[in-house]
Structure 1
Amino acid sequence: MFLTTAILFWEVASPVTHAATSLNQSRWEQAIINIESTRVVYDSMQPWIKRPRTYLKTGVVIAPREILTAAEDLQDRTLVRVQKMGRGQFYEAEVVWLDYHANLAILTVKDDAFWKGLQPVPLLRGAPSRDDLRVARWLNANLEIRRVEFSQYTMDDSRLSPIPALYLEFDSEMKSIGGSAPLISGGKLAGITCQQVDNHVRALTATFISSVLEERKKGNYRGLGFFPFYWQPTPNTASHKYLKLPGEPRGVAVIFVPELPVVEENLKPMDIILQVDGFDIDPQGRYLDPDYGQQILENLSIRGKFAGDIVRFTVWRDGAIRVVNYRLPRFDYHLRLLPDHVFDREPEYLIAGGLVMVPLNKPFLRSWGDDWKRRAPFRLVYYDNEFPTPDRPSLVVMSFVLPDAYNLGYQDLRALAVEKVNGKVVRNLREVKEALSSPQKGYHIIEFVRSDTIRRIVLDASQMETANARILKRYGIPKAESLSSP
């Protein structure tokens, strides 16, 4: 099997630069870095297949021997190289710190020669001027700096995590600037880009970046916290009357609260959230941020707050105003029944008689494409909003069947959640492997979660080992399993 490398290049454009006379261009020439990240990309359906892929992005020197960039495209990395001044030698770099949820990373280079002629740039404090926004990048060995047009501040999921992120959105005719290009305002770093769709670009703000990096510098960075509860707007005044809330309609109603042991004082369903850290919440769940205008209340979980910090909720509960000192839980991918990502380790799989078993997670569902919520089997998408429980901490799915005489009749089955193997409930691949060591009267019986298709598969246990060897050889698969450590 041959591995092919695909390299994503920045679009080649005119070498003409567009630097404003008020900017010290040489200062940015000494700070903006080209980054080349090579990482392994896995096939979620056939997890034994991996391909190297190289991405080009940008970094900014923000401190002695420290380069700031987005964490995206640094996952499952095998090699990171950097280049200064937009040309010349590439140097091997090391990722010294990274947070996928914040989408931030710090790189360094051991070779002293790389740092000669480079100077850090300061991060902007507060919101940038909307009339003074520029984006910079190296293009054909020339530094290109252009004005961009401010659009809005908006909340959305982080690029690599479902926790919220505040973005500065702007419009630009520049192409391929979504990969950590520096956003400049007042001669300072106002943010780094992280996404581009056509002419619309999103950037993480310097305020958020600074708060995270300052916590890291203190040596007690605990990661980002989040609000795991669900709420709904209260535009209909009948909701307030039903809950006997006096005065003008305000606040939002809590509708679901997961059980998390870290949260001692918790919200409850039917609470109306009136204030969060002193900010009034309107019936649409928004508050007036002094820097960024009207924002959704989730921003208050990351506005200078981190996991373990207390957020003060004022709620209407049981006919009275209550104060809840809510301790922010730290987000982890495994806090959801279907983990959003599995980074920096090989994906798990187990092949049993041609049946390909994998953990049910978001990467598996995303193999149906960007519209996976509609295209993936609804019986699997259903689990996306579920939280793990002691009885069901995770799920196993039979991805598909590698056709062989051994599994004849089952070869068209795919995407079925596994419930039991040989009479034992299985919640991960290690439990599947253990259950396969105890066949029932000479047969392996695999049972699936109830659906509109087949409920069980029966296979001859005495022939499985021989069939596995034959199937691995026929399909060029290096090994029958890849399991994580217990």
Structure 2
Amino acid sequence: MDMEAEEAVPTRPFGDTDIMQENRKEAHALSGSKPLAAKKTGAVALRVLSKCLLQVFVTKAEKSYMHPWHVRPQKSGKGSAFVIDAAKRRIITNAHVVEDATVAHVRRLGVPKRWPAKVLHLSRVCDLALLTVEEDAFWKGMEDVELVDTPHLQDQILVCGFPIGGDSLSITSGIVSRVTLCSYGTSTNKLLAIQIDAAINSGNSGGPVFLNLQERQVAGVAFLKHASSSADNIGYIIPKPVVDNFLQEIEVSGHVKHCCTAAVGFICQPMENPYLREKYKLSKDQSGCLVFRISPLSICSQHLRVGDIILEIDDKQLADDGTIMFRDDERLSYAHTIRMKMVGETLHLKVLRDGKELHLSYPIAARDPLVPEFHNLDCVPTYFITGGLVFVPVTIPFMHHALGAQWRRVAPVRILDAMMGYKSAEDQQIIILHQILVADINFGYKQGMIQLKDFNGTPIRNLQHLAYLVDTCSEEFMEFTLDFGFRIVFRTRSAREESQAILEQHAVPHDRSPNLQDCAGQRPDLAPAVAVDP
């Protein structure tokens, strides 16, 4: 996205893109008229794009996970979009372009008017959003594009949109340089993506990447630029299989809650080491991966065992490095096959157990990680404060807001280790002491970003559980046991008497987030817990 406050930088004009230069050369060779060829090529592009390409304008009010009682300062931004289905009045763009938008407008190419747009569906998992414009006049002359199958290496592409540096159309050319899986945004959930060497900058997000502009054939949706300072011209687009999964989920269920969230329920490791293969009786003709952890709450736990070797997934042979054949000589992680399945579909596995091959099948479920990953999908800003101690559940949005984009490198190791586990109960959360609002009552306590283990000897299941235990505490002291065995102790009466003054001093409106206010004083109905393998 393009923030309006960013400084404009010079960019090449529309007619000077590489693809236009090549078309000019070809036309000049045939007609001997370079200016005429340039005008003709540009006119064709403008005619096609004027019927499908859009610029998006939004005003956002983003929630804060760092200070969950606040809303971040309002800001304006821009992005790109295009018509995916003119008959149904559907427009597609990136989720991060319109997420948390209080107002959204779109503008057609060459038309000064901005039209109010409505967000119909949004999936942060696959970073896609579906919009519509309700006014009939907007749709006059609009045409949709054709999404084509995942392009091949070295295929020529055109990135069209409205990046920083100006307010007019920009077209850059490049090639497909890689087909791979990558993380969409801050998620650990990797999906299929196409790497290209054409420039993708803020403002290009949500725009079409054409394989054939004249035929309106689109290879995918521009969404990501490689942020490393050591990398140049590395951008990513969302390909047809991911877009199809997004649209199919809407068609089938009317929502996108489970879009691209299918999970197998187990974790496995490569079996490239010869001693590992020998130990688990893998023959020279066999290949696969060793299951070493299984979610105790998943259906998978009723079928697989730790020590099983996955040989095939949906009749596709699994290599020792965890990849399957994608097409021709290209290979991808087996995760691609899983993520493209719809929740509820049957997963077919061929496994090796104690030297014998078995065929197993079970319905695939949605990901339900111990650490929630997506704002407004499986988490919202949540907090509880007592005695100035600010407790929050660990979520990926929280880690990103609190520690920045490189949070995986700077987060405490013990927190990262806890995040790798499976749930032992459906309502389980990792609760941490996020910060301390300084006051006399908490003098001498300086801990932060450390996991809470129990309260007055009772293990903590989730934040609602903690709030209930604190609210109903009848003991003289409150004792919070943190990781490494560190203790924080308050006199119960003093904590209750001073909490309101602490909140007012630090401009915090309430001692807990709205989702906990609704259940204040209610005994939580804790879900049954099961044992989890270490």
TM-score normalized with structure 1 length: 0.88
Residue 285 of structure 1: how far off its partner (Å)? 1.6
Corresponding residue of 1:72: 96
Distance 2:5 2:145 in 1: 28
2:194 match: secondary structure: strand
The residue type paired with residue 403 of structure 2 is W
Distance 1:168 1:291 in 2: 16
Moved more, 13-22 or 368-377: 13-22
Q: Are 2:352 and 1:316 equivalent residues in the alignment?
A: yes
Q: Contact conserved, 1:81 with 1:93, CA < 8 A, in 2? A: yes
Residue 42 of structure 1: how far off its partner (Å)? 3.6
Corresponding residue of 1:340: 373
Q: Are 2:257 and 1:226 equivalent residues in the alignment?
A: no
Distance verdict in 2 for CA 1:134–1:155, change over 3 Å: same
Residue 96 of structure 1: how far off its partner (Å)? 1.0
Q: Deviations over 1:89-114 (max 9, x none)?
A: 32221111222222221101122232
Distance verdict in 2 for CA 1:264–1:464, change over 3 Å: closer
Residue 292 of structure 1: how far off its partner (Å)? 8.0
Q: Contact conserved, 1:265 with 1:327, CA < 8 A, in 2? A: no
Distance 1:393 1:209 in 2: 32
Residue 169 of structure 1: how far off its partner (Å)? 0.2
Corresponding residue of 1:450: 484
What aligned pairs does 1:228-267 form with structure 2 within 5 A after superposition? 228-263=265-300, 266-267=303-304
Corresponding residue of 2:47: 26
Residue 10 of structure 1: how far off its partner (Å)? 8.7
Q: Are 2:512 and 1:481 equivalent residues in the alignment?
A: yes
Q: Deviations over 1:410-461 (max 9, x none)?
A: 2x2212322233443332232222222334543322222334xxx2222233
Q: Are 2:453 and 1:419 equivalent residues in the alignment?
A: yes
Q: Contact conserved, 1:368 with 1:375, CA < 8 A, in 2? A: yes
Distance verdict in 2 for CA 1:265–1:342, change over 3 Å: same
Q: Are 2:489 and 1:468 equivalent residues in the alignment?
A: no
The residue type paired with residue 442 of structure 1 is E
More helix by share: 2
The residue type paired with residue 450 of structure 1 is F
Q: Are 2:207 and 1:181 equivalent residues in the alignment?
A: yes
Taking every aligned residue pair, what percent have the same amino acid on both sides?
Answer: 23
Distance 1:414 1:191 in 2: 43
1:172 match: secondary structure: coil
Corresponding residue of 2:68: 47
Distance 1:176 1:201 in 2: 11
What aligned pairs does 1:86-105 form with structure 2 within 5 A after superposition? 88-105=112-129
Q: Deviations over 1:167-217 (max 9, x none)?
A: 110112454365122110123111011110242101111233134324533
Distance 2:449 2:101 in 1: 29
Distance 1:292 1:84 in 2: 41
Q: 1:136 aligns with which of 152, 160, 166?
A: 160
The residue type paired with residue 62 of structure 1 is I
Distance 1:214 1:433 in 2: 40
Distance verdict in 2 for CA 1:210–1:392, change over 3 Å: closer
Q: 1:195 aligns with which of 224, 234, 251?
A: 224
What aligned pairs does 1:141-220 form with structure 2 within 5 A after superposition? 142-159=168-185, 161-173=187-199, 175-176=201-202, 179-186=205-212, 187=215, 188-197=217-226, 198-219=232-253
Distance verdict in 2 for CA 1:115–1:347, change over 3 Å: same
Residue 59 of structure 1: how far off its partner (Å)? 0.9
Residue 299 of structure 1: how far off its partner (Å)? 1.1
Q: Which runs of 5+ in 1 are unaligned?
A: 1-5
Moved more, 198-207 or 424-433: 424-433
Corresponding residue of 2:388: 354
Q: Contact conserved, 1:124 with 1:207, CA < 8 A, in 2? A: no
The residue type paired with residue 111 of structure 1 is E
Q: Contact conserved, 1:276 with 1:313, CA < 8 A, in 2? A: yes
Q: Contact conserved, 1:358 with 1:399, CA < 8 A, in 2? A: yes
Q: Which runs of 5+ in 2 are unaligned?
A: 24-40, 227-231, 520-534
More strand by share: 1
RMSD: 2.8
Corresponding residue of 1:107: 131
Distance verdict in 2 for CA 1:292–1:61, change over 3 Å: farther
Q: Contact conserved, 1:178 with 1:201, CA < 8 A, in 2? A: no
What aligned pairs does 1:403-414 form with structure 2 within 5 A after superposition? 403-410=438-445, 412-414=446-448
Distance 1:137 1:185 in 2: 15
Q: Contact conserved, 1:178 with 1:196, CA < 8 A, in 2? A: no
The residue type paired with residue 286 of structure 1 is T
Distance 2:245 2:414 in 1: 41
Residue 346 of structure 1: how far off its partner (Å)? 5.0
The residue type paired with residue 355 of structure 1 is L
1:110 match: secondary structure: coil
Residue 389 of structure 1: how far off its partner (Å)? 1.0
Q: Are 2:475 and 1:438 equivalent residues in the alignment?
A: no
Q: Contact conserved, 1:226 with 1:302, CA < 8 A, in 2? A: yes
Distance verdict in 2 for CA 1:174–1:462, change over 3 Å: closer
Moved more, 469-478 or 213-222: 213-222
Q: Are 2:331 and 1:294 equivalent residues in the alignment?
A: yes
Distance verdict in 2 for CA 1:416–1:289, change over 3 Å: closer
Residue 482 of structure 1: how far off its partner (Å)? 0.9
Q: Contact conserved, 1:128 with 1:190, CA < 8 A, in 2? A: no
Distance 1:31 1:398 in 2: 49
1:147 match: secondary structure: strand
Moved more, 44-53 or 183-192: 44-53
Q: Contact conserved, 1:9 with 1:55, CA < 8 A, in 2? A: no
Q: Are 2:312 and 1:275 equivalent residues in the alignment?
A: yes
